[in-house]
Amino acid sequence: MKNASSAAAGSEQVASMSDAALLVSLRTETRCSACQAPCYVLSSGDHYQYTDRDLNLWVDLASKHKAVIDKNNPPAEILRTLGENLSHQNRRTTSTAVPMTPAPVQYIPAPAPPSAAPDITTRMQEMVMVMGTVAPLMQTMMQSLNPQNSSSNTSHASNSSKRPRSDSSVAPTSSPAGSPQKSKAASSNKKNLELCDWLPQIDMDPERSKRGGNYGQYTDVLRERGLFDVEDLSGLKEETLLQLTGMEYGYAQRLIRWAKEDLGLIKRPRFS
């Protein structure tokens, strides 16, 4: 009798409340601390959050004495639709719902152990093989880039191998180095000047220029004929020099004689 009277008193109290007050009371009664919203815990343990439609239906039934404000006893009309609404509700609130199971742990394979480093002997052998291959290649490339130096080095090496060894002792008379011709040739090479330098010296010499030959004017003519130094001039005859330059016979004779004197081929007299 006491429980029946309490339920009747509760029903009368609910009937006397407005719909707004019923809605506030319903939200407070069904609020879940985990979801922070009105919800219902199913037998499976899942949480179903009530929609506004569910709450309005519950308030309407309560105002008509067809339902009570009790979180454990939702109206049958709501319970019949929990299966459909639950799947929809779970999809909509997946991003905000508290995960019930721990996230799967991603397996990261351990890095493979480093391969054993080759021993020092193997490394040294590899370096020697590489250097032996690269060195000839670099030498070939340098020679192809600068063939002039390569040829000059080759000629210098051959000339060095053919160069006689210097000796402080006097060469025998029968040897070529001791012959008078070789001695004259060695001395003449020291005095074999270019005509562009030698002819002006003739014009500046007080004794040789007193006849007024003006020999420097023939420098270009002689160079055009392929005569460049004193030795080239000493091998000419007077008639040939006359034909090449057009100078007088006496001047040509003196010029050839002076060339031979300066080369040491003939002895220079006291007066030229």
pLDDT at 181 over 60: no
229: β partners? 194
Taking CA atoms, 85 is separated from 40, 68, 74, 92, 97, in Å, by 12, 22, 14, 10, 16
Residue 151 has a pLDDT of 52
CA distance 254 to 81: 142
Give SS3 for 102: coil
Residue with tokens 């069904």: 30
CA nearest to 238, candidates 262, 216, 258, 267: 258
CA nearest to 47, candidates 9, 3, 81, 89: 89
Predicted confidence band at 121 (pLDDT cuts at 50, 70, 90)? confident
Predicted confidence band at 129 (pLDDT cuts at 50, 70, 90)? confident
- Reported for 254-260, long-range contacts at CB under 8 A and 24+ positions apart, including other chains, are 254/208, 254/211, 254/213, 255/202, 255/213, 255/215, 258/202, 258/208, 259/198, 259/230, 259/231, 259/233, 259/234, 260/234
CA nearest to 62, candidates 92, 28, 120, 21: 21
CA distance 195 to 200: 8
**Angle 220-223-229 from CA coordinates, rounded to 5°:** 115
Q: Could you read off the pLDDT of 30-71 as tens digits, one per residue?
A: 999 888 899 988 888 889 898 999 889 989 998 888 888 888
pLDDT at 246 over 80: yes
pLDDT at 183 over 70: no
Residue 195 has a pLDDT of 92
Residue 130 vs residue 199, higher pLDDT: 199
Predicted confidence band at 228 (pLDDT cuts at 50, 70, 90)? very high
Predicted confidence band at 173 (pLDDT cuts at 50, 70, 90)? very low
Return the structure tokens found at 231: 């030795």
Give SS3 for 212: coil
Write down all domains in the chain, each with its CATH number in brackets: 10-92 (no CATH), 180-262 (1.10.150.50)
CB neighbourhood size of 46 (10 A): 15
